[in-house]
Amino acid sequence: MCGIIGYTGNRSVAGVLVDGLRRLEYRGYDSAGLAVVSGGELHEAKAVGKVRKLEEVVAALPGLGSLCGCGIGHTRWATHGVPSTVNAHPHFSNDRKIAVVHNGIIENHQELRRHLTSKGCVFRSQTDSEVIAHLIAEAYDGDLLAATAAVLDQLQGTYGIAVVSDRHPGLIVAVRKGSPIVVGIGEGENFVASDIAALLAHTRQVIYLNDGDIAAITPEKIELRDIRNVPIEREIAKIDWETGAAEKGNYPHFMLKEIFEQPETVENAIRGRLDHEMASAILSGIGLSPRELLQIGHIVIAGCGSSMHAGLVGEYYFEDLAGISTSVEQAAEFRYRNPIIEPNTLVIPISQSGETADTIAAVREAAAKGAIVTALCNVVGSTIAREAGRGIYLHAGPEISVASTKAFLSQVVVLLLFALLLGRNRRLSRSRGAELVAEIEQIPDLIREVLEQALEIKKIASRYAHVDDFFFIGRGCLYPTALEGALKLKEISYIHAEGYHAAELKHGPISLLDEKHPVMALANDIPGRDKILGNIQECRARKAPVVAIATRGDRAIRDLTQDVIEIPPCSRFVAPLPTAVALQLFAYYIAAERGCEIDQPRNLAKSVTVE
């Protein structure tokens, strides 16, 4: 939530910042702003709304676009204070000599505000972040890094912060606690950002700050200190995402691009991970020996949003294939309900970004309770990936659309691989393992077959673009798939959509059904399909229009509804993957027809870094 970018070097600072903010916009898009230090002066620009509004403001300010030096920029997802230019970052000290951008929440901001006000500080915004600028100004004694370090123990909560001052041309000070900050290493120029997506166009060499690290960044060097101002060293990491991976290409939206990338991203998730000889999977990142795997007595999966839905699919895999009891927790609840972590419990946090605050908290709680923690993350070097210390990367490349698509699919695939490995380690026969290996290898082609039907799915979607409500029903592994389909639809089209287990429909929601309440029935030919047929009849009897996902050639379903999206035949374990792709396209085309802001739905952010 909230994107931060900083640049120091000889290029147009505002140009680099605006470009970086555009790439970070998925982190928040209520307002945006920047501050540039050049020629001993501090310049600012702010705008409510998307980054393109900020770009217009920058263009209208004579000379700002051509200034070199250093600067910081921010795109906001409002927590404290409405979206407005006053609340947009950067925030300034009263003498306007220090500018600060912040991602996170300062929990004791009211107390700090009272203290600063009593000392004569005048607050301009309603944000929690503004206190940071005033505190640094209060501590300032000629050394910006020392002043920033000095205020950190007064700040409770989470932060990624970047600071500039007109007294320190070329210098950016950055610090993190709980909210990501990554430093990008250039030649004769350097960068800082909340997220590597903003750096991809400039550099592949990065340093991930740890909590408590402070960086002093100039065009020539990057100095790192700890909170006691003692110099520290951090490893330089290499980003292996391809150039252009964070570009939209010829697609109208990132979401559509990411949906169509899925055959390749799933291939990337599988590559090198299938062991044909052993009819198993190779997942070296989990760092557990066969003996340790055998000792796992219980699995707890924690995640939020789509990542949690992937976990719910994984629950079926682990229990069915490996015979290990598994529970799925909303990461936000995990630490508050004092979970019971028995010895030999494996906790699997799932997070595309690796930065979701609630999932990070779950990782810490699990580790503190002695669990073995193995994370599933997409973003290499992210907080969860580093804190867990072991895990499986998704290799899905940057996911820019706020609504998760390709990361969800890769999560499900990796969970299937993990369950195969655990299963083969225990009760799964070699021949059953070999069948699964073959099924997993087919997934990219199954997805391609669904993508080939995009136009038909679009036609069906257009018949439902006007509705206000939608129910999604499924059974078995397709129950969590129904939850994910409903989430996709509601987040990008603003249609009220609910996912239910098909059997639960009769325990309440059925009372709502009529001709205005369509139902999406996941009726693939897997166990439970006959019961779903009965559920479709029940919906039709109440005049609810039904769209069905069915296995190619299923005539019985065609007799019940004309709106059928066909999926190639596949097993129940693999079925969630092509089915999810069909549901993604369905949601996408409905949202497109309704003219929604698909990549940046209102009120949402890609990475929820506050609780």
103 near ligand G6P (CB under 6 A): no
Please tell me the distance from the alpha carbon of residue 450 to that of residue 473, in angstroms, as a whole number: 20
Cβ closest to ligand G6P, residue 367 vs residue 503? 367
Cα separation values, 470 from 236, 453, 464, 514, Å: 48, 22, 9, 11
Cβ closest to ligand G6P, residue 165 vs residue 607? 607
402 near ligand G6P (CB under 6 A): yes
Please tell me the distance from the alpha carbon of residue 93 to that of residue 329, in angstroms, as a whole number: 43
Query: Which DSSP category does 321 fall into?
Result: I
Radius of gyration of the chain (CA): 25
Interface with ligand G6P by CB under 6 A: which range of 148-156, 273-281, 352-360, 508-516?
352-360
Exactly one of 246, 412, 608, 610 binds ligand G6P (CB under 6 A); which one?
608
359 near ligand G6P (CB under 6 A): yes
360 near ligand G6P (CB under 6 A): no
Cβ closest to ligand G6P, residue 45 vs residue 604? 604
Cβ closest to ligand G6P, residue 140 vs residue 260? 260
Exactly one of 148, 356, 425, 453 binds ligand G6P (CB under 6 A); which one?
356
Which residue has the closest beta carbon to ligand G6P?
A: 305
405 near ligand G6P (CB under 6 A): no
Exactly one of 75, 93, 125, 351 binds ligand G6P (CB under 6 A); which one?
351
Please tell me the distance from the alpha carbon of residue 565 to that of residue 548, in angstroms, as a whole number: 6
- Please provide residue 342's backbone torsions phi and psi, each rounded to the nearest 5 degrees: -75, 160
**Who contacts 10 (Cβ-Cβ below 8 Å, separation ≥6)?**
68, 188, 189, 219
Q: How far is the CB of 307 from ligand G6P (least distance, A)?
A: 4
Cα separation values, 170 from 14, 40, 149, 411, Å: 14, 10, 19, 42
582 near ligand G6P (CB under 6 A): no
Neighbouring C-beta atoms of residue 609, cutoff 10 Å: 28
Q: How far is the CB of 193 from ligand G6P (least distance, A)?
A: 17
Q: What are 298's strand-pairing partners?
A: 325, 345
Q: How far is the CB of 265 from ligand G6P (least distance, A)?
A: 15
Q: Kindly state the greatest CA–CA separation across the chain.
A: 79
Closest CA to 449 of 303, 565, 604: 565
Please tell me the distance from the alpha carbon of residue 399 to that of residue 606, in angstroms, as a whole number: 9
Cβ closest to ligand G6P, residue 75 vs residue 404? 404
Q: Which residues of 89-102 are buried (b: 16+ CB within 10 A; e: fewer)?
A: bbbbbbeebbbbbb
Q: Catalytic residue at 531?
A: no
Which one of the listed residues 50, 177, 406, 606 is annotated catalytic? 606
Q: How far is the CB of 487 from ligand G6P (least distance, A)?
A: 8
- Whether 337 and 310 have beta carbons less than 8 Å apart is answered as no
609 near ligand G6P (CB under 6 A): no
Q: Catalytic residue at 221?
A: no
Give me the sheet containing 519-522, strands edge to edge: 496-501, 469-474, 519-522, 546-551, 563-567
| Residues touching ligand G6P, count (CB under 6 A) | 16
Exactly one of 179, 280, 353, 383 binds ligand G6P (CB under 6 A); which one?
353
Cβ closest to ligand G6P, residue 31 vs residue 352? 352
Q: How far is the CB of 476 from ligand G6P (least distance, A)?
A: 22
Which residues are part of the catalytic machinery?
2, 606
List residues near ligand G6P by CB under 6 A. Answer: 304-307, 351-353, 356, 359, 402-404, 604, 606-608
